Chain A
């Protein structure tokens, strides 16, 4: 089952997150995560999938000590997770959560973005510069004086991402960050993520159920029953029907279509996205 796969480009990069036999559970008899070992290299975009309650959220919360691990070793950006290193590790990891309302700390967009910067004890000029830079970059510079009640869900999530990126973490974790957004805001979130990948400064961990988001990532970690069920590429995940069923996932639409066409005896290769599928299908009209 275990099939350690690393993308060619990321292979050389050193690991930024290492878990060694990590466990977590309120009750030692029934741990939520058990004996989990894995490592993630810098610059990778990793999807974490699994059915509800399988410990995805728990796993990412262990990384920056929002939850205390019961056993094992966690190393993040060269810091071994201990009581003393928690603050250093939290500086390396930014986290965007599911509910855009509940992670809005400030009374206005501006305050929310500077909240983290104040905690880093940055001088005023630096805060001002980072605030301006990030708000222009994410297109929220016209919203700075707005209250959360005046923003849409997508805008609030954008603010949450801005607040995190302004702190310049190397690792950004999205904990089902798109699950409460509409289709349009989801696509905007994907654009931000693609932009972050293009910059190459971020390691991205994304908990998600969304097929398109999984397909965009480099690597998929599938959790099941408190352990790692698979460590594969998105393509391998979507080819494995049993694994999909285990994780309560669905194939992306072009994959479903390609599969059904194959069953009808039409030879179509599995496409990467909708456009590729269309490109492969239209010549068959002529060849007949």
Chain B
């Protein structure tokens, strides 16, 4: 299960990135997203890659974990690469087979998309690897606090996210069990033609959803029994503290952004 849901699990190494305020890491991630989109030359990409590798290394989390986090999306990345490489017709044509032609511009743009995607995934993984879920939630609550002016409650949003994250593994495990139960009665998904497969999926969804509702009911009882009320005042066990390191961390990304634009 740990393998399957690497995203959303924190890995404690005690590095300086772990000790940062979750808010600064979330803001840094947004900045990083902008920087990635701004980078459009090979030099900028190379600089960004070196910078990212340095930040990843400084978390002391083994690099293989980051690669593992990106691995489930390798086919999507390949697909994006092929589609972009074949459809964008910019720059010198390199070679062509029939109606398909590979252009220099297309190739580099396709490569950029894949690199951007890879960098973004590993960096999202950095956020979750170095931040415990409770702190991440609290950071999110802090970042979302301007929403209060719009009448939305950041606490509700983060509560929803944290409960969803908490129950995803449980519900996945349960669907596995139901699938095995169906297979043991002769309805094995793998053996069926596509149309039947779809029908079977529906018969999988019904028990999974009904049990999710039962779990939700139990969870509500449990929360209410512990005195939980929506929007009631609560104290916080994890207190965020914005320090000089956080400001420095953000500045690093701003400088990187400027550098990327210049390069």
Q: In the assembly, what is the distance between CA of A108 and CA of B237, in Å?
A: 13
Chain B nearest CB, measured from A260 CB (Å): 40
Within 8 A of B (CB), among A87-116: 87, 90-91, 93-95, 97, 99, 101-108, 110-111, 114-116
Q: Who on chain A is nearest to B172 by CB?
A: A149
B219 near A102 with CB under 8 A, answer yes
A-B contact pairs, 16 of them (CB 8 A): A61-B221, A66-B221, A87-B227, A94-B226, A103-B218, A105-B226, A115-B226, A116-B228, A117-B235, A118-B234, A118-B237, A121-B233, A124-B239, A127-B237, A145-B132, A150-B2
Question: Which of under 10, 10 to 19, 20 to 34, or 35 or more describes the interface residues of A?
Answer: 35 or more
B235 near A102 with CB under 8 A, answer no
Q: Who on chain B is nearest to A111 by CB?
A: B134
Partner of A108, one of B134, B225, B227, B234: B134
A87 near B229 with CB under 8 A, answer yes
Interface stretch (choices B13-21, B108-116, B162-170, B253-261): B162-170
- From B134, B215, B222, residue with most partner A Cβ within 10 Å: B222
Question: How many contacting A-B pairs (Cβ < 8 A)?
Answer: 104
Residues of B with C-beta under 8 A to A94: 225-226
Chain A nearest CB, measured from B62 CB (Å): 18
Asked if B244 CB lies within 8 Å of chain A CBs, one says no
A95 near B234 with CB under 8 A, answer no
Asked if B50 CB lies within 8 Å of chain A CBs, one says no
Q: Who on chain B is nearest to A87 by CB?
A: B227
B219 near A103 with CB under 8 A, answer yes
Q: In the assembly, what is the distance between CA of A95 and CA of B132, in Å?
A: 27
Residues of A with C-beta under 8 A to B227: 87, 90-91, 116, 119-120, 167
Total interface residues on B, CB under 8 Å, equals: 34
CB-CB nearest 3 A-B residue pairs: A102-B218, A103-B222, A107-B133
Partner of B232, one of A64, A116, A119: A119
Contacts A103-B218, A127-B235: A66 and B224 contacting too (C-beta < 8 A)? Answer: yes
Q: In the assembly, what is the distance between CA of A167 and CA of B12, in Å?
A: 28
Q: Who on chain B is nearest to A145 by CB?
A: B12
A101 near B170 with CB under 8 A, answer yes
Asked if A148 CB lies within 8 Å of chain B CBs, one says yes
Asked if A8 CB lies within 8 Å of chain B CBs, one says no
B165 near A107 with CB under 8 A, answer yes
B222 near A106 with CB under 8 A, answer no
Q: A residues bordering B, Cβ < 8 Å?
A: 61, 64, 66, 87, 90-91, 93-95, 97, 99, 101-108, 110-111, 114-124, 127-128, 145, 147-150, 163-164, 167
- From B9, B215, B224, B237, residue with most partner A Cβ within 10 Å: B237
Asked if B194 CB lies within 8 Å of chain A CBs, one says no
Asked if B64 CB lies within 8 Å of chain A CBs, one says no
A119 near B12 with CB under 8 A, answer no
A116 near B226 with CB under 8 A, answer yes
B133 near A123 with CB under 8 A, answer no
B221 near A121 with CB under 8 A, answer no
Q: In the assembly, what is the distance between CA of A66 and CA of B134, in Å?
A: 27
Contacts A106-B134, A111-B133, A124-B237: A149 and B223 contacting too (C-beta < 8 A)? Answer: no
Residues of A with C-beta under 8 A to B229: 87, 119
Q: In the assembly, what is the distance between CA of A119 and CA of B227, in Å?
A: 6
Q: Who on chain A is nearest to B214 by CB?
A: A102
B226 near A93 with CB under 8 A, answer no
Within 8 A of A (CB), among B149-207: 162-163, 165-166, 169-170, 173
Q: In the assembly, what is the distance between CA of A150 and CA of B173, in Å?
A: 13
Chain B nearest CB, measured from A189 CB (Å): 17
A90 near B225 with CB under 8 A, answer yes
Within 8 A of A (CB), among B1-32: 1-2, 9, 12
Residues of A with C-beta under 8 A to B148: none
Chain A nearest CB, measured from B226 CB (Å): 4
Q: Who on chain B is nearest to A116 by CB?
A: B226
Residues of A with C-beta under 8 A to B12: 145
A95 near B133 with CB under 8 A, answer no
A102 near B237 with CB under 8 A, answer no
Q: Who on chain B is nearest to A88 by CB?
A: B227
Q: Who on chain A is nearest to B221 by CB?
A: A66
Q: Who on chain A is nearest to B234 by CB?
A: A118
Q: In the assembly, what is the distance between CA of A145 and CA of B13, in Å?
A: 13
Within 8 A of A (CB), among B75-111: none
